[in-house]
Amino acid sequence: MLILFSSIMICFIIPMIVMLFATTFSKKLIHDREKSSPFECGFDPKSSARMPFSLRFFLIAVIFLIFDVEIALILPIVIIMKTSNIFVWMLSTMFFMIVLLTGLYYEWYQGTFKWAE
């Protein structure tokens, strides 16, 4: 029991000491106005640093990420098929696919996939 307690204490004390040293020695003491500016090259910005962003591109990227995560959820379904009840597996898989296809149809119907008008 003493060995377990001492190892737990070591696991907490060593990272705390490392974090304490890192925070005390990593502080920059010199604050430069040019380094704090939006551009570190030293030039003052001539125009706004904000550039216009295409909302269509953002929507396409979000939809891609959503369907990418859904593919990661679909892949284990094939592995589960061997170990589960086939009827329950079929119902849950069909429900999941219907929800995905409904979402895809809705996005298509809303015109999100039209890149140029």
The per-residue pLDDT string of the chain (117 residues; one tens digit each, 9 = 90 and over) reads 888 888 888 889 998 999 888 888 876 656 666 666 665 555 566 666 666 777 778 878 888 888 888 888 888 888 888 888 889 889 988 998 899 889 888 888 888 777 666
What does the alpha-carbon distance between residue 26 and residue 7 come to, in Å, rounded to a whole number? 28
- What the block records as the tokens of 108 is 């298509």
The domain limits of the chain are 56-110
Non-local CB neighbours of 40 within 8 Å, separated by 6+ positions: 34
Determine contact, residues 112/63, Cβ cutoff 8 Å: yes
Q: Which of 68, 72, 48, 50 is nearest to 60 (CA)?
A: 68
Non-local CB neighbours of 112 within 8 Å, separated by 6+ positions: 56, 59, 60, 63
DSSP-H helix ranges across 26-82: 33-36, 55-80
